[in-house]
A and B are shown apart, each in its own frame.
Chain A
Amino acid sequence: MSFNRTANAIDLAPLMDILKPYKQNPRGALIPVLQQAQDVYGYLPQEVLETIASELRVPVAEVFGVVTFYAQFHLNPRGKNIVRVCQGTACHVRGGAGILEAVSHHLDVKPGETTKDLNFTLETVACLGACGLAPVMMVNENTHGRLTPDDIPGILDSYLA
């Protein structure tokens, strides 16, 4: 059996560290391991998924099934900055669609896409729990609230420095 390997070999040592505490008792470990692996690698490359499957003794197909079920997991590399524009109800009735359009226009990508220079990935999210400040978006770990479309270029460009 052969798989397409990524151009640069992936260092699996950090993954082994993540897996270590779960090897004795792999019950319920799959999702936390995937979450921690994604934190380290930024996404979930094929090799990582295969290693997780063999170390936790679950079929690769099951690992894929879980990865594709949950919105949080990504099979492809992502941008340096993750922009998540809220499309929850409170943001929707306060102009969230206009914010998404402004971001999409400024970055020239659609939701789910990454800019060519790999600087930004644009995503939507249903409620960040900061509805009092609607409309809201999150860039990496920072929440920006009370937005107007005019604010968008300035905020996004500030992440390029």
Chain B
Amino acid sequence: MLELKRLTSVDELNKLQEEARPLLGLRHYNRAANQEKYQILICGGTGCTSSGSMNIRDALQAAIDNNDLHDRVNIVVTGCHGFCELGPLVIFYPGGIFYVRVQPEDAEELIKTTVLEGKTVERLHYQGRTGKTPRHSYRDMLFYNLQKRLVLRNCGRIDPENIFEYIANGGYQGIAKALGMGREATLEEVYNSGLRGRGGAGFPTGLKWKFMAAETAEPKYMLCNADEGDPGAFMDRSVLEGDPNAVIEGMLIGAWATGATEGYVYVRAEYPLAIKRLGIALAEAEALGLIGDNILGSDFSFHLKIKQGAGAFVCGEETALMRSIEGKRGMPRVRPPFPAKRGLWEKPTVLNNVETFANVARIITDGAEAFRQDGTEKSPGTKIFAVTGKVRNTGLVEIPMGVSMRHIIFDICAGIKNENKFKAVQIGGPSGACLPASMLDNPVDYDSLTAAGAMMGSGGLVVVDEDTCMVDLARFFLTFTQAESCGKCTPCREGSKRMLEILERICGGEGRDGDIEELERLAHTMRTSSLCALGQTAPNPVLSTLRFFRSEYEAHIHDKKCPAGVCTKLLQYRIDPEKCKGCTLCARNCPVGAITGKVREPHLINPNKCIKCGTCMDKCKHGAISRV
């Protein structure tokens, strides 16, 4: 019987690991012909939960009960598998039998066919990119086989609400080993690994930790940034929901190496499930004595709490985040002094990102050299990307740094939806850039991206196709940064407002000569004189689209045309009287009653009433409506 009882030595942790191992005993790929026992893993990540995976759990449980199978089959709810597009996902072990888009009605058949008959339900497999080659097992899927899932190794594989599963898989061995190595050797190992912060700027983690280790003031704080503000990114959320203990263990090792005794995880309030799972993990770790005083019988103590954000993007910036934890308005302040010297409550403080911490335990257990096996000399290790937008397989992708953007988008994520043409990939969110097709073969690592005028950012990749207007996309990002600017310094507060006004005018068909130059001038001022990185990087989406897609700006300004057909003020919907059959479908669906006409006679759109929603064009079965 596994008990949540205080562990007082590394030996006790090792013993617990042995006792917990059977929990994972069925999670392998060798399914026997007449397999007796099964474990069903249901994805309980945010994506699959919102597609209804908890109803499927109930339906599967009912099917297990109906068929009297409780001693042969049990259900485990996991975190995100990174393939949310095809959720809800259900996986049977042994075998890793992979089912997608499962509905509660499928439960009975799944249990009967998979467990009782020893076959698989063909129609519920992922049918491959061609739609014709069913993938039976996790192991047959290109989406996973082309990745290197090291940080995500537990996500989707273990129950995140059961610390024993984490321990069974080698969890907390990193801190156990670090305690034996001593503080300095631990610090040196992380330093030698070359790990760089995954939160955006790519600052060397070991170096940051060394700065704090050299400080003498007490207490010292170790903070985790789980604010994940980049709109279109969900790496940190998935790690927290799928493997929260890995983040806690990384923080423990950081605290041990730097002498921190207290810590906070600052999580976005929009992530209720991540907060819940982290809370459970923390309570279990405390019960085992892995958080608290005299951890594993040593003289090392570390106390950890969760703080919920309150909805301000700027609080992802490190000094603002610290003000927010203090209960104040989250405004950035000038650095130096750097937080390693004076941070939270003016004490030495280190802040790292969720994914940064999730890399740390492996660096200690396997060593810095093993960590450096992946990635490039200057960007070692793997990076997780949230690939979204117009790709076929949206999801979470972990790859060694240095592979090309093309590999991520076309090989792993299967290219663009509906055979459309790739136009650009937006990387780095509101601080990042849009890269065109000509840069698809550039390597993805910190320095190459910076050289290309972009930045790694946190790992959001939004892929857009020819139906996306790049001026509108730039306007979209400026709307975001302008709203999130904290208003403390003028270049950012006023500059973002001015830039947004100009972009709105251009999208509204009122662009003028000189607008592009004015945008460039404002961008320069914001870059060089804003106080924090929010303002300094806010012009990036505009500058990169101006650099690579300048002709689109010019078409808006000079020809009053939106080449992608997005900016509604520059569009008109028209009915071709030759093609119109007078079926009245468009008129019945127009939300504002802008279409008139008699049955079997050509219809007409009143341009003064039309709000350009495009519904009529989607509805017309005769291709009579066009957008000009």
Residues of A within 8 A of B (CB): 27-32, 34-35, 62, 65-66, 69-73, 87-90, 92-94, 98, 101, 105, 125-134, 136, 141-146, 149
Contacts and interface: CB of A to CB of B under 8 A. Distances in A.
A133 B234 contact: no
Contacts of B232: 88-90, 127, 131
Nearest to B268: A129
A89 B426 contact: yes
A43 to B, nearest CB: 14
A161 to B, nearest CB: 18
A158 to B, nearest CB: 14
B540 interface: no
A88 B615 CA distance: 23
B50 interface: yes
Contacts of A127: 229-234, 270
B15 interface: no
Contacts of B329: 65-66, 69
Contacts of A130: 46-47, 50, 84, 234
Interface in B571-627: 591, 613-615
A143 B234 CA distance: 15
Nearest to A106: B591
Contacts of A142: 50
Interface stretch (B121-129, B303-311, B448-456): B303-311
Given A69-B330, A129-B228, A131-B388, A90 B615 contact: no
Contacts of B234: 127, 129-132
Interface in B372-419: 386, 388-390, 394-395
Nearest to B389: A93
Interface in B325-363: 325-330, 345
Given A90-B232, A126-B231, 4 more contacts: A31-B324, A35-B310, A69-B330, A89-B429
B237 interface: yes
B272 A141 contact: yes
A69 B312 contact: yes
Contacts of A69: 312, 329-330, 486
Nearest to B393: A132
Interface in B87-126: 87
Contacts of A149: 613, 615
B493 to A, nearest CB: 14
Nearest to A84: B270
B572 to A, nearest CB: 18
Interface of B: 46-47, 49-51, 84-85, 87, 228-234, 237, 269-272, 307-313, 324-330, 345, 386, 388-390, 394-395, 426, 429, 460, 462, 464, 468, 473, 476-477, 480, 486, 591, 613-615
Contacts of B51: 133, 145-146
6 interchain residue pairs of minimum CB distance: A132-B84, A88-B231, A143-B50, A89-B232, A71-B311, A30-B327
B412 to A, nearest CB: 14
A142 B272 CA distance: 11
A129 B567 CA distance: 26
A133 B87 CA distance: 9
Q: Chain B CB within 10 Å — which of A70, A87, A143 has the most? A: A70
A32 B46 contact: no
Nearest to A63: B327
Given A66-B328, A145-B47, A145-B51, A93 B468 contact: yes
Contact of B312 (A27, A70, A90, A141): A70
A62 B251 CA distance: 32
A134 to B, nearest CB: 6
Contacts of B46: 128-130, 143
19 contacts: A28-B327, A29-B327, A30-B327, A31-B308, A31-B327, A35-B308, A66-B327, A69-B329, A69-B486, A72-B310, A89-B389, A89-B460, A93-B462, A126-B229, A131-B233, A131-B394, A133-B85, A142-B50, A145-B50
Q: Chain B CB within 10 Å — which of A31, A69, A144 has the most? A: A69
Contacts of A70: 310-312, 330
A83 B39 CA distance: 37
B476 A92 contact: yes
Given A127-B230, A129-B270, A134 B388 contact: yes
A149 B611 CA distance: 15
Contacts of A98: 613-614
Nearest to B396: A132
A88 B46 CA distance: 16
Contacts of A71: 310-312
Given A72-B311, A142-B50, A89 B85 contact: no
A33 B237 CA distance: 24
Nearest to B615: A149
A59 to B, nearest CB: 12
Nearest to B541: A89
Contacts of B328: 30, 62, 66
